[in-house]
Chain A
Amino acid sequence: MAAPVDSVGKPSAERSPFNSTSFQKKTRSKLISIPGTRPSVQNGQLLVSTGVTSLDYLLGGGLAVGTVLLIEEDRYDSYSRMILKYFLAEGVVCRHELFVAAAQDNPDDILQELPAPILDDVAIHKPVDQPRLSCEPQDSLDAMKIAWRYQNLPKVQSALASTSRFGHYYDVSKTMEPEIRQAAKCHRFYLPEHPTQSSTTHSPMIESYSALLKSLQEVIHREGFDIAASMPKSRNILRVGLHSLGSALWGDDLSCHDNPRHSHALTTFLYGLRALLRSSLAVAVVTVPSHLIQDRALMGSITRLCDNAIALESFKGSERETNPLYKDYHGLLHVHQVPHLNCLASQLPDHKDLAFKLKRKQFTIEVCRQGYSVQSNCLSRKLSIHPFHNVTDCNPSSEKPVCTFVCYWVTKSKVKLLIVLCWCQSYYSVTFRGNRV
């Protein structure tokens, strides 16, 4: 299951019956409280931050624990790799455990490139000092004296202010300091270190994916991330980052051939990954070079096997780079899928045309405002017009034809739109695409 926060949804089951005393303390023993997570407001699921706050908002508040986020890479794998690094950096700051798998670069290299968090109120996590014994030599008289009743208590680090915060900001120009990074536990899977044995089964999954799945399961069992594991100690989240699955370096010919021999290797792996994650306190981010995969139907089944799916399209090297419309942005972001786990309705973002920009201290995702410039001597107002559905198809047998007129005129200060409706059998609103300059 994608771990629901149990007590939120079922108060009736927990309410204890009245007995002789009038006061009854409600125990919320089932509430899982893990640093760096928060319950979703929609369905009480446990969410973690992706490291990019605007992406969290698009995905409905964050990534649900037990789900997979698929990122379709941009052409040069720059921004998708950046998001993967944000995700891992967020795990370090929240003190989650990391699992990084890559075939191309050593996971250590990826971990060394993590962006530095902007720490204004975050204390660097140091191992807790040994408790002070009363037989220690006395402090110098200049040291500040603490009240005697507290003198013998062990010194503990003040609670990290960051654990109560959800989502942090990172400075891309600096890399994370080694002390912070080494405080987090990282598990690595570098494909060249795992020699592939030829498999005897006829399973559609290739050996590299099998080895990866097996390694991930071992880590989950060993470190106690199973939901079913009966470990009373504090639970933690495992963040899994899988880089460039489906590329040729994983041994997969999905991105090389039109009719790949292992066409179901990646999909079978994703099915197994979903099975693993649903039964553990883990969340995964997978990047796939979808621009190399010719088969759109296969891309569709890959998307359906992941819970969240976004695609990045960068402007670098394309003719849009010099387009003045897009001068504020680095690329477009498409949200293909948002999950609806444990509830019927899903929360797709309202706007379909989103663009992103990587600034030094923030990765912003905004609605891309298409400009519309009327005349040279007129104020070129930027209108944000979101494509809606326009006039619906008319069924000649039952409905009367519908026609619309759209008039507009430009005044000194604004562009006025007047929509004349006649005979509205169906609903519609403005569909207006500005001319691209």
Chain B
Amino acid sequence: MFTELNSILNSTPDSFTKGEFIFVSDRQSDASFLIHHFLSFYLRARCKVCFLGLVQSFSHYCAISQRLGVSLAQAKEKGQLIFLEGLKESLSILIPQEGHTENQAMDFLRDPTVGLRSLYKFVQSSLNSSSSGEDGTEEWGPSVLLVDDISVLLSLGVSARAVLDFSHYCKATVCSQLQGNMVMLVRCDGEDEGDDGDDEGSELLLRGLTHQCSLTLHVQGLPTGYCRDIHGQVEVCWRRRQGDGQHTQKKLFQYKVHDKGASFFARGTSSAVL
């Protein structure tokens, strides 16, 4: 959990807006540090978290969360965290073996044209199990869905439309029905829509998710080049619905990622400069 980011977003583990869809995207940079922030934030807020870790192993998230002060293994044992380790589950489908029971969630690897229905069913079942009211287990807060890198699904052959459908269904379940939050990460390419039709999938996904979300965090490298002390810039965009119309508010920050967190500062006020 990064304290500076909490003050920027005006949220603390005790009080945060519910029913939000936070969309994190990056271009020519790596925004996964924000996913670690949200993971530790919602675990500290005692929410029930469903994490779809599609690109890295569980131990990677464990190691980083430990530095941020949260124990993922403990949360998983207590039932607060439901972790889908995409890499591990995918092996049994990519290399078919007889007599091997596999998790149905990654079924789209077998035939990407089918879509992400089984993945959505997994999300639904994991977040709805809390409402079945098992006595003796702890009561958790609102449900949260975190997806680390939904754009890897495009690389695996799923169409952008199917991914948008999936996110819409998840939003309807998590944000509207369960009044929880949702965080998704999309990684785009560096070229700014130079080639027509080549990166259609990724740009389509980016625009579609920006339209669906309520808070955008767009991470980019510095427009002027690479710098060791400043790793990039984050553009935060709130899309609030106030009565008559939409009201968007944008803010731009620069950031630097440390070993145990990240610091955010206004443009030009990096400690390396002042």
Q: Which of B94, B113, B157, B267 has the most CB of A within 10 A?
A: B94
Whether A304 contacts B187 by the Cβ 8 Å rule is yes
Known A-B contacts A204-B156, A425-B268; the reply to A297 vs B199 at CB < 8 A is yes
Whether A268 contacts B156 by the Cβ 8 Å rule is yes
Q: Which residues of B contact A (CB under 8 A)?
A: 30, 33, 36, 55-60, 63-64, 67, 87-88, 90-91, 94-96, 109-113, 151-152, 154-157, 187, 189-191, 195, 198-199, 202, 222-228, 231, 257-262, 267-268, 270, 272-273
Whether B268 contacts A427 by the Cβ 8 Å rule is yes
A275 vs B60: C-alpha distance when bound (angstroms): 13
A271 vs B94: C-alpha distance when bound (angstroms): 9
Q: Which residue of A lies closest to B37 (CB)?
A: A344
Instruction: Please name 24 pairs of A and B residues whose Cβ atoms are closer than 8 Å in the assembled complex, sorted by A.
Output: A1-B58, A210-B95, A217-B91, A217-B95, A264-B156, A272-B94, A274-B55, A278-B57, A279-B57, A296-B195, A300-B190, A301-B189, A342-B63, A344-B36, A344-B67, A344-B257, A344-B259, A345-B259, A352-B226, A389-B222, A389-B226, A392-B268, A426-B267, A428-B224
Contacts of A352 in B (CB 8 A): 226
Choose one: B36, B111, B225, B272; the contact of A389 (CB below 8 Å): B225
| Chain A nearest CB, measured from B269 CB (Å) | 9
Per-residue interface assignment for chain A, residues 249 to 273, with 1 indicating a CB less than 8 Å from any chain B CB and 0 otherwise: 0000000000000001001100110
Whether A342 contacts B64 by the Cβ 8 Å rule is yes
Whether A203 contacts B110 by the Cβ 8 Å rule is yes
Whether A202 contacts B156 by the Cβ 8 Å rule is no
Residue count of chain A within 8 Å CB distance of chain B: 53
Whether A427 contacts B157 by the Cβ 8 Å rule is no
Return the 3 tightest CB-CB contacts between A and B, nearest first. A389-B224, A427-B273, A1-B59
A9 vs B62: C-alpha distance when bound (angstroms): 12
| Chain A nearest CB, measured from B71 CB (Å) | 12
| Chain B nearest CB, measured from A266 CB (Å) | 9
Contacts of A4 in B (CB 8 A): 59, 63
Contacts of B60 in A (CB 8 A): 1-2, 341-342
- Judged by a CB distance under 8 angstroms, whether A346 is at the interface is yes
Q: Which residues of A contact B (CB under 8 A)?
A: 1-2, 4, 9, 43, 201-205, 210, 213-214, 217, 264, 267-268, 271-272, 274-276, 278-279, 295-298, 300-301, 304-305, 340-346, 348, 350, 352, 387-393, 425-428
Q: Which residue of B lies closest to A426 (CB)?
A: B268
A210 vs B94: C-alpha distance when bound (angstroms): 8
Contacts of A9 in B (CB 8 A): 63
Whether A271 contacts B261 by the Cβ 8 Å rule is no
Choose one: B57, B189, B257, B258; the contact of A300 (CB below 8 Å): B189
A217 vs B95: C-alpha distance when bound (angstroms): 9
Whether A301 contacts B154 by the Cβ 8 Å rule is yes
A190 vs B188: C-alpha distance when bound (angstroms): 35
A4 vs B67: C-alpha distance when bound (angstroms): 15
Known A-B contacts A272-B90, A276-B91, A341-B60; the reply to A295 vs B198 at CB < 8 A is yes
| Chain B nearest CB, measured from A284 CB (Å) | 14
Whether B157 contacts A204 by the Cβ 8 Å rule is yes
Contacts of A267 in B (CB 8 A): 155-156
A428 vs B268: C-alpha distance when bound (angstroms): 9
Choose one: B56, B157, B228, B231; the contact of A264 (CB below 8 Å): B157
| Chain B nearest CB, measured from A206 CB (Å) | 12
A305 vs B157: C-alpha distance when bound (angstroms): 14
Whether A264 contacts B225 by the Cβ 8 Å rule is no
